[in-house]
Amino acid sequence: MSNIQVLASSQLCDKIIARPTTNFHPSIWGDRFLHYNISEQDLVCKQEKVEELIQVVKKEILSSNHDQLKLIDNLQRLGLSHHFESEIEKLLEQLSIGTHHQNHHDLHDASLWFRLLRQHGFNVSSSIFEKFKDAEGNFKKSLITDVSGLLSLYEASHLSYVGESILDEALAFTTTHLKAIVANSKDHPLSHQISIALHRPLRKTIERLHARWWKEHEFVKKFPFARDRMVELYFWILNVYYEPKYSRARKLLTKVIALTSITDDTYDAYGTIDELELLTKAIQRWDINCMDKLEPEYLKTYYKVMLESYEEFEKELKKEELYKLEYAKEEMKRTIGGYFEEARWLNEGYFPSFDEHLRVSYVSSANVLLIATSFVGMHDIVTHETLDWLSKDPKIFEQQRNHIPSTVDCYMKQYGVSEEEAIKELNKRVVTYWKEINEDFIRPTVVPFPILLRVLNFTKVADLLYKEGDDQYTNVGKVLKESIAALLIDSIPL
């Protein structure tokens, strides 16, 4: 080898940067969702059929039929209740102030009445279940054979508040006997439904289980180190708000969560600490002139896309709505600051305390950023008061802190406990946080009900993605594949 070759080789080696790269698997969906072929005639025909069915169902809801509650429950499970909001609200309000519950001597009916009203924020008393206890204060043994009632009571118990012992007892009682039914009576007609409920109760279940923008920006080509999860991201957002009236909000939030995913991977799996420091400072300044100071080229590209995307959002909003976007932009800056702090810890080999980890991961989880962004496109229902409420880190966000896997490691170190003990303690906290979420829905609510529903829906998706300790978003597994297929591929025949 010549001296010139050696010199050239040496100079090339000096430019090679060691990066903490992670090999994420590519999208499993390809271009499947880029096109939807349907003729104008077929579309009009389907819309007419839908409108016809809506009118039929409205009449059913307003009738005095005994099955009204079951109908409402089914509509909610199918994600169709937004077509009947006023009718459902009117009926439930009537049921909440009357004496209807006193006539519920059937466990299934009483539990369904209780669950639906609590889901809608009516503070009905759990004392309705006292009638199902024996003289010793235990749930009656005769209830064990009422499988439908047990399942309904199990679902109702997940709408409990902190300190409601009767619902804690109901959960323990029903869980024990429902598990026994699944184990010993696999042929029971409700066995499959029970198995699903034991794994994911309705309170934590997502109801009704814009790729071209992603393609146009060539994100996969420009950021090959990042996760290509556009379908999974859209599934996430579609479950935050599936209602047609939130179409604008859905499009905007999908773009922001896609940018956030790339940002997360840049800080967590690719950028060097020097690069990330430059990028963080540029983000805090939010000035296109900062782009010239960014190196290497991928940072310039990222920064340009980020700023241009928010400029596009501004054009889509009315002047009086821009304050919401400014708030969301500040949350993006705060989130990226959290990403950098975690990157700095890793670079310095620093292991934070549990409390310190919670403080930073609460920001870097991007939950507040995404929820703030979800409010931007929701028109007039979001006000300055809504954002003031959000800025105070309300309790309803607490549950999401414990979905960060490294939380377990920090808890183990700070308290000197085993992994099993740490997980057990964190799971206890999660149970309490779900109860606090239920309490936040008691009417009158601090902020409008639709606002709280966005937070609840975010929490449901997080629970789906991270419940088993696996990151279903990074490593798309069976649970997420089946959920996406059920929502976006497998149709429900009319």
pLDDT tens for the chain, residues 1 to 494: 433 333 333 333 334 566 665 666 666 666 665 666 777 788 788 889 889 988 999 988 888 666 889 999 989 888 888 889 999 999 899 888 866 656 668 999 999 999 999 999 999 999 999 999 999 999 999 999 999 999 999 999 999 999 999 999 999 999 999 999 999 887 888 988 999 899 889 998 876 544 456 677 788 888 988 888 888 888 888 888 888 889 899 989 999 999 999 999 999 989 999 999 999 999 999 999 999 999 999 999 999 999 999 999 999 899 999 999 999 999 999 999 999 999 999 899 998 999 999 899 889 989 899 999 999 999 889 999 999 999 887 877 765 544 444 788 889 989 999 999 998 998 899 899 899 999 999 999 999 999 999 999 988 888 888 776 667 777 777 888 888 787 777 766 65
Indicate the angle between helix axes 406-415 and 354-364, nearest 10 degrees: 160
Name the phi and psi angles at 226, rounded to 5: -90, 160
Question: In the prediction, which pLDDT does 10 show?
Answer: 35
Question: In the prediction, which pLDDT does 493 show?
Answer: 60
Q: What is the rounded distance in angstroms from the CA atom of residue 491 to the CA atom of residue 494? A: 9
The neighbour count for residue 384, using CB atoms within 10 Å, is: 10
Question: In the prediction, which pLDDT does 14 show?
Answer: 37
Alpha-carbon separation of residue 228 from 196, 197, 257, 302, 343 (angstroms): 29, 31, 12, 15, 22
Q: Is residue 328 within 8 Å of 376, Cβ to Cβ? A: yes
Please tell me if the domain spanning 40-204 has the same topology as the one spanning 211-489. Answer: no
Q: What is the rounded distance in angstroms from the CA atom of residue 490 to the CA atom of residue 492? A: 7
Torsion of CA 402, 405, 408, 414, to 10 degrees: -90
Q: What is the rounded distance in angstroms from the CA atom of residue 304 to the CA atom of residue 374? A: 22
Superfamily of domain 211-489: Farnesyl Diphosphate Synthase (1.10.600.10)
The residue ranges of every structural domain in the chain are 40-204, 211-489
Torsion of CA 252, 254, 258, 259, to 10 degrees: 10
Q: What is the rounded distance in angstroms from the CA atom of residue 263 to the CA atom of residue 363? A: 14
Nearest to 58 by CA among 92, 85, 95: 85
Alpha-carbon separation of residue 215 from 61, 146, 208 (angstroms): 44, 53, 27
Structure tokens that stand for 432 in this block: 């309490």
Q: What is the rounded distance in angstroms from the CA atom of residue 242 to the CA atom of residue 220? A: 27
pTM above 0.75, yes or no: no
Question: In the prediction, which pLDDT does 39 show?
Answer: 77
Nearest to 75 by CA among 116, 19, 20: 116
Cis status of the peptide bond prior to 444, with omega within 30 of 0: yes
CATH class of domain segment(s) 40-204: mainly alpha
